[in-house]
Structure 1
Amino acid sequence: MKNIPTLYSWVGGNDALEKLTEIFYDKVLHDDLLQHVFKNMSAAHTKHVAHFIAEVFGGPELYTQGDDGSHAKMVAHHVGKLLTEAQRQRWIALLLQSVDELGIADDPEFRSALVAYLEWGSRIAVINSKLTDNPLQHDAPMPKWGWGVPGGPYIPKEQ
Protein backbone atom coordinates (compact mmCIF):
# COMPACT_ATOMS: atom_id res chain seq x y z
CA MET A 1 0.00 0.00 0.00
CA LYS A 2 1.59 3.28 -1.08
CA ASN A 3 -0.43 5.76 0.95
CA ILE A 4 -1.06 4.20 4.34
CA PRO A 5 -3.61 6.30 6.22
CA THR A 6 -2.99 7.48 9.76
CA LEU A 7 -4.88 5.76 12.54
CA TYR A 8 -6.66 9.09 12.97
CA SER A 9 -8.06 9.07 9.44
CA TRP A 10 -8.81 5.35 9.55
CA VAL A 11 -10.85 5.69 12.75
CA GLY A 12 -12.96 8.44 11.20
CA GLY A 13 -11.26 11.58 12.46
CA ASN A 14 -12.16 13.91 15.26
CA ASP A 15 -15.94 13.46 15.05
CA ALA A 16 -15.63 9.71 15.56
CA LEU A 17 -13.22 10.12 18.47
CA GLU A 18 -15.39 12.74 20.19
CA LYS A 19 -18.45 10.51 19.86
CA LEU A 20 -16.42 7.57 21.19
CA THR A 21 -15.23 9.45 24.27
CA GLU A 22 -18.76 10.75 24.97
CA ILE A 23 -20.22 7.25 24.93
CA PHE A 24 -17.27 5.80 26.81
CA TYR A 25 -17.26 8.31 29.67
CA ASP A 26 -21.00 7.92 30.09
CA LYS A 27 -20.30 4.24 30.78
CA VAL A 28 -17.44 5.14 33.13
CA LEU A 29 -19.65 7.48 35.16
CA HIS A 30 -22.13 4.63 35.70
CA ASP A 31 -19.51 2.01 36.54
CA ASP A 32 -19.08 1.09 40.22
CA LEU A 33 -15.35 0.51 39.85
CA LEU A 34 -14.51 3.66 37.89
CA GLN A 35 -17.08 6.34 38.65
CA HIS A 36 -15.31 7.69 41.75
CA VAL A 37 -12.11 8.25 39.74
CA PHE A 38 -13.93 10.38 37.15
CA LYS A 39 -16.86 11.86 39.07
CA ASN A 40 -15.25 15.33 39.20
CA MET A 41 -14.11 15.50 35.58
CA SER A 42 -14.77 18.73 33.75
CA ALA A 43 -17.47 19.06 31.13
CA ALA A 44 -14.70 19.35 28.52
CA HIS A 45 -12.92 16.17 29.62
CA THR A 46 -14.36 13.93 26.91
CA LYS A 47 -13.26 16.33 24.16
CA HIS A 48 -9.79 16.75 25.68
CA VAL A 49 -9.30 12.99 25.69
CA ALA A 50 -10.61 12.70 22.12
CA HIS A 51 -8.21 15.43 21.03
CA PHE A 52 -5.31 13.74 22.82
CA ILE A 53 -6.02 10.42 21.09
CA ALA A 54 -6.48 12.22 17.77
CA GLU A 55 -3.06 13.82 18.04
CA VAL A 56 -1.39 10.59 19.13
CA PHE A 57 -3.00 8.80 16.16
CA GLY A 58 -1.60 11.29 13.66
CA GLY A 59 -4.36 13.87 13.61
CA PRO A 60 -4.23 17.64 14.10
CA GLU A 61 -2.65 19.14 17.20
CA LEU A 62 -5.97 19.98 18.81
CA TYR A 63 -4.81 18.85 22.24
CA THR A 64 -1.48 20.66 22.36
CA GLN A 65 -2.59 23.75 20.46
CA GLY A 66 -6.35 24.11 20.93
CA ASP A 67 -6.67 22.58 24.39
CA ASP A 68 -3.30 23.92 25.59
CA GLY A 69 -2.38 20.41 26.64
CA SER A 70 0.84 18.45 26.58
CA HIS A 71 1.98 14.93 27.25
CA ALA A 72 3.24 16.10 30.63
CA LYS A 73 -0.18 17.60 31.44
CA MET A 74 -1.90 14.34 30.52
CA VAL A 75 0.49 12.39 32.74
CA ALA A 76 -0.08 14.90 35.56
CA HIS A 77 -3.79 14.01 35.58
CA HIS A 78 -2.87 10.48 36.68
CA VAL A 79 -0.19 11.25 39.29
CA GLY A 80 -1.34 10.34 42.79
CA LYS A 81 -4.61 8.67 41.70
CA LEU A 82 -3.49 5.21 42.89
CA LEU A 83 -5.19 3.37 40.05
CA THR A 84 -5.53 -0.39 40.34
CA GLU A 85 -5.08 -3.15 37.79
CA ALA A 86 -8.78 -3.95 38.07
CA GLN A 87 -9.65 -0.34 37.21
CA ARG A 88 -7.23 -0.39 34.28
CA GLN A 89 -8.78 -3.55 32.89
CA ARG A 90 -12.33 -2.21 33.29
CA TRP A 91 -11.32 1.07 31.61
CA ILE A 92 -10.04 -0.83 28.58
CA ALA A 93 -13.06 -3.16 28.50
CA LEU A 94 -15.52 -0.25 28.54
CA LEU A 95 -13.57 1.62 25.88
CA LEU A 96 -13.46 -1.39 23.57
CA GLN A 97 -17.16 -1.99 24.20
CA SER A 98 -17.80 1.61 23.17
CA VAL A 99 -15.70 1.15 20.02
CA ASP A 100 -17.77 -1.90 19.12
CA GLU A 101 -21.09 -0.15 19.80
CA LEU A 102 -20.12 2.66 17.43
CA GLY A 103 -18.91 0.24 14.80
CA ILE A 104 -15.57 2.00 14.61
CA ALA A 105 -13.07 0.35 12.27
CA ASP A 106 -13.11 -3.29 13.31
CA ASP A 107 -10.48 -4.65 10.97
CA PRO A 108 -7.80 -6.73 12.73
CA GLU A 109 -4.93 -4.34 12.01
CA PHE A 110 -6.71 -1.32 13.44
CA ARG A 111 -7.93 -3.25 16.47
CA SER A 112 -4.41 -4.52 17.06
CA ALA A 113 -2.97 -1.00 16.93
CA LEU A 114 -5.77 0.36 19.15
CA VAL A 115 -5.43 -2.36 21.77
CA ALA A 116 -1.64 -2.01 21.77
CA TYR A 117 -1.99 1.72 22.41
CA LEU A 118 -4.60 1.25 25.15
CA GLU A 119 -2.50 -1.41 26.88
CA TRP A 120 0.63 0.74 26.67
CA GLY A 121 -1.04 3.97 27.78
CA SER A 122 -3.16 2.48 30.55
CA ARG A 123 -0.22 0.61 32.04
CA ILE A 124 1.81 3.83 32.06
CA ALA A 125 -1.15 5.60 33.69
CA VAL A 126 -1.21 3.02 36.50
CA ILE A 127 2.54 3.37 37.03
CA ASN A 128 2.31 7.17 37.08
CA SER A 129 -0.71 7.05 39.40
CA LYS A 130 1.51 5.68 42.15
CA LEU A 131 3.94 8.61 41.89
CA THR A 132 3.79 11.88 43.79
CA ASP A 133 5.61 13.93 41.14
CA ASN A 134 5.19 14.09 37.38
CA PRO A 135 8.02 12.11 35.75
CA LEU A 136 7.82 14.20 32.54
CA GLN A 137 9.17 17.63 31.79
CA HIS A 138 6.70 20.17 30.41
CA ASP A 139 8.27 19.90 26.94
CA ALA A 140 8.14 16.09 26.68
CA PRO A 141 7.06 15.11 23.17
CA MET A 142 3.58 13.79 22.53
CA PRO A 143 3.51 10.05 21.89
CA LYS A 144 2.85 9.07 18.28
CA TRP A 145 1.15 5.79 17.48
CA GLY A 146 1.00 4.01 14.16
CA TRP A 147 0.01 0.73 12.61
CA GLY A 148 2.92 -1.30 13.92
CA VAL A 149 3.51 -4.56 12.10
CA PRO A 150 2.54 -5.55 9.43
CA GLY A 151 2.04 -1.87 8.73
CA GLY A 152 -1.34 -0.85 7.43
CA PRO A 153 -5.01 -1.62 7.39
CA TYR A 154 -6.46 -4.88 6.14
CA ILE A 155 -8.14 -4.32 2.81
CA PRO A 156 -9.74 -7.40 1.27
CA LYS A 157 -8.64 -8.20 -2.30
CA GLU A 158 -12.16 -7.58 -3.64
CA GLN A 159 -11.84 -3.85 -2.96
Structure 2
Amino acid sequence: MTSLYDHAGGAEALHHLEEIFYAKALADPVLRALFPHRVPTHVDHLTWFTAESFGGPDRFTRELGFAYIIDVHRGLHITEEQRERFVQVYLESLDEAGLPDDERFRAAVREHVEFGSRVAQQNSHAKTDDDLHPLREVPRWTW
Protein backbone atom coordinates (compact mmCIF):
# COMPACT_ATOMS: atom_id res chain seq x y z
CA MET A 1 0.00 0.00 0.00
CA THR A 2 1.19 3.52 -0.76
CA SER A 3 2.52 5.46 2.23
CA LEU A 4 0.77 8.59 3.45
CA TYR A 5 3.96 10.42 2.42
CA ASP A 6 3.68 9.28 -1.20
CA HIS A 7 -0.09 9.77 -1.30
CA ALA A 8 0.35 13.35 -0.04
CA GLY A 9 2.79 14.12 -2.85
CA GLY A 10 6.13 13.70 -1.08
CA ALA A 11 8.48 16.28 0.39
CA GLU A 12 7.53 19.16 -1.91
CA ALA A 13 3.80 18.85 -1.19
CA LEU A 14 4.39 18.53 2.56
CA HIS A 15 6.73 21.52 2.57
CA HIS A 16 4.05 23.58 0.83
CA LEU A 17 1.50 22.41 3.44
CA GLU A 18 3.77 23.37 6.33
CA GLU A 19 4.47 26.80 4.82
CA ILE A 20 0.74 27.48 4.62
CA PHE A 21 0.10 26.14 8.12
CA TYR A 22 2.96 28.09 9.67
CA ALA A 23 1.85 31.39 8.09
CA LYS A 24 -1.66 30.80 9.41
CA ALA A 25 -0.38 29.88 12.88
CA LEU A 26 1.76 33.02 13.10
CA ALA A 27 -1.28 35.16 12.24
CA ASP A 28 -3.84 33.32 14.37
CA PRO A 29 -4.92 35.13 17.55
CA VAL A 30 -5.27 31.86 19.51
CA LEU A 31 -1.98 30.37 18.32
CA ARG A 32 0.09 33.56 18.36
CA ALA A 33 1.26 32.90 21.92
CA LEU A 34 2.75 29.57 20.80
CA PHE A 35 4.15 31.03 17.56
CA PRO A 36 5.19 34.57 18.59
CA HIS A 37 7.70 35.12 15.78
CA ARG A 38 8.91 33.44 12.61
CA VAL A 39 11.70 30.95 13.17
CA PRO A 40 13.60 30.39 9.89
CA THR A 41 13.98 26.63 10.41
CA HIS A 42 10.44 25.91 11.62
CA VAL A 43 8.88 25.00 8.24
CA ASP A 44 11.75 22.66 7.41
CA HIS A 45 11.54 20.96 10.80
CA LEU A 46 7.76 20.56 10.51
CA THR A 47 8.20 19.14 7.02
CA TRP A 48 10.84 16.64 8.16
CA PHE A 49 8.67 15.51 11.08
CA THR A 50 5.53 15.10 8.99
CA ALA A 51 7.42 13.37 6.18
CA GLU A 52 8.97 10.87 8.59
CA SER A 53 5.65 10.29 10.36
CA PHE A 54 3.97 9.60 7.04
CA GLY A 55 6.53 7.00 5.95
CA GLY A 56 9.04 9.22 4.18
CA PRO A 57 12.73 9.85 4.91
CA ASP A 58 13.89 9.81 8.55
CA ARG A 59 15.63 13.18 8.32
CA PHE A 60 13.98 14.54 11.49
CA THR A 61 15.35 11.67 13.57
CA ARG A 62 18.79 11.78 11.93
CA GLU A 63 19.32 15.55 12.06
CA LEU A 64 17.39 16.63 15.15
CA GLY A 65 16.29 13.62 17.19
CA PHE A 66 13.04 13.23 19.08
CA ALA A 67 14.41 14.94 22.21
CA TYR A 68 14.43 18.15 20.14
CA ILE A 69 10.65 18.17 19.76
CA ILE A 70 10.17 17.41 23.45
CA ASP A 71 12.40 20.35 24.37
CA VAL A 72 10.61 22.70 21.94
CA HIS A 73 7.24 22.05 23.58
CA ARG A 74 8.32 22.01 27.23
CA GLY A 75 7.14 25.02 29.16
CA LEU A 76 4.67 26.22 26.51
CA HIS A 77 1.64 25.30 28.67
CA ILE A 78 -0.56 24.60 25.66
CA THR A 79 -4.22 25.14 26.51
CA GLU A 80 -7.04 22.96 25.22
CA GLU A 81 -8.27 25.92 23.15
CA GLN A 82 -4.82 26.26 21.55
CA ARG A 83 -4.58 22.52 20.92
CA GLU A 84 -7.99 22.42 19.26
CA ARG A 85 -7.23 25.51 17.18
CA PHE A 86 -3.90 24.00 16.07
CA VAL A 87 -5.76 20.94 14.74
CA GLN A 88 -8.38 23.10 13.02
CA VAL A 89 -5.82 25.37 11.34
CA TYR A 90 -3.74 22.38 10.25
CA LEU A 91 -6.72 20.65 8.67
CA GLU A 92 -7.77 23.88 6.93
CA SER A 93 -4.25 24.13 5.54
CA LEU A 94 -4.62 20.76 3.80
CA ASP A 95 -7.22 22.23 1.47
CA GLU A 96 -5.22 25.37 0.76
CA ALA A 97 -2.16 23.25 -0.02
CA GLY A 98 -4.16 21.13 -2.45
CA LEU A 99 -3.41 17.86 -0.67
CA PRO A 100 -5.60 14.86 -1.47
CA ASP A 101 -9.09 15.14 -0.06
CA ASP A 102 -10.09 11.48 -0.04
CA GLU A 103 -11.73 10.41 3.19
CA ARG A 104 -9.14 7.79 4.22
CA PHE A 105 -6.20 10.17 3.82
CA ARG A 106 -7.93 13.01 5.67
CA ALA A 107 -8.96 10.67 8.50
CA ALA A 108 -5.37 9.46 8.89
CA VAL A 109 -4.04 13.04 8.92
CA ARG A 110 -6.67 14.11 11.46
CA GLU A 111 -5.75 11.19 13.75
CA HIS A 112 -2.06 12.04 13.40
CA VAL A 113 -2.56 15.73 14.23
CA GLU A 114 -4.95 14.99 17.10
CA PHE A 115 -2.49 12.50 18.60
CA GLY A 116 0.54 14.74 18.09
CA SER A 117 -1.19 17.78 19.54
CA ARG A 118 -2.11 15.81 22.67
CA VAL A 119 1.49 14.61 23.07
CA ALA A 120 2.75 18.19 22.63
CA GLN A 121 0.17 19.48 25.10
CA GLN A 122 1.16 16.93 27.75
CA ASN A 123 4.86 17.65 27.23
CA SER A 124 4.21 21.40 27.39
CA HIS A 125 2.98 21.02 30.98
CA ALA A 126 5.59 18.49 32.16
CA LYS A 127 7.43 19.63 35.26
CA THR A 128 9.61 16.51 35.35
CA ASP A 129 10.66 13.86 32.84
CA ASP A 130 8.16 11.50 34.48
CA ASP A 131 5.37 13.89 33.45
CA LEU A 132 6.32 13.63 29.78
CA HIS A 133 4.36 11.50 27.34
CA PRO A 134 6.19 8.16 26.97
CA LEU A 135 6.64 8.60 23.20
CA ARG A 136 10.36 8.89 22.40
CA GLU A 137 10.49 8.50 18.62
CA VAL A 138 8.71 9.91 15.62
CA PRO A 139 5.49 7.91 15.30
CA ARG A 140 4.96 6.10 12.01
CA TRP A 141 1.45 6.88 10.86
CA THR A 142 -0.35 4.65 8.38
CA TRP A 143 -3.76 4.20 6.90
Report the count of equivalent residues: 140
Q: Which residue identity does 1:143 align to in structure 2?
A: P
1:27 aligns to what?
A: 24
Contact 1:80 1:130 survives alignment (8 Å): yes
Measured in 2, the distance between the counterparts of 1:127 and 1:136 equals 6
C-alpha deviation, 1:132, in angstroms = 2.7
Match of 2:83 in 1: 88
The percentage of counterpart residues that share the same residue type is: 39
* Residue among 31, 53, 57 paired with 1:56: 53
In structure 2, what residue type is equivalent to 1:17?
L
TM-score of the superposed pair, with normalisation by structure 1: 0.82
Contact 1:75 1:136 in 2 (8 A): no
CA–CA separation in structure 1 for the residues paired with 2:79 and 2:141: 25
> In the alignment, is the contact (CA less than 8 A) between 2:123 and 2:133 conserved in 1?
no
Asked if the contact 1:79/1:133 (under 8 Å) is kept, the reply is no
| SS of residue in 1 equivalent to 2:101 | coil
Map 1:122-137 onto structure 2 (within 5 A).
122-134=117-129, 135=132
Q: 1:128 to 1:41 in 2, by over 3 A?
A: farther
CA contact (8 A) 2:4 2:54 kept: yes
Per the alignment, do residues 84 and 17 of structure 1 end up closer, same or farther by CA in structure 2, a change over 3 Å counting? same
1:47 matched to 2:44: yes
Q: Cα RMSD (Å) of the superposition?
A: 1.6
1:144 maps to 2:131:
no
- Greater Rg, structure 1 or structure 2? 1
CA deviations on 1:23-66 (whole Å, 9 max, x unpaired) are 1111111111111211245201011011111001110112122x
| Greater share of helix | 2
8 Å contact from structure 1 (residues 7, 58) kept in 2: yes
Match of 2:96 among 81, 97, 101: 101
- Between the aligned partners of 2:128 and 2:142, the Cα distance in structure 1 is 29
Structure 1 residue ranges (4+ consecutive) displaced by more than 2 angstroms after TM superposition: 132-137
Distance in 2 between residues matched to 1:141 and 1:88, nearest whole Å: 21
Structure 1, gaps ≥5 residues long: 148-159
Contact 1:72 1:136 in 2 (8 A): no
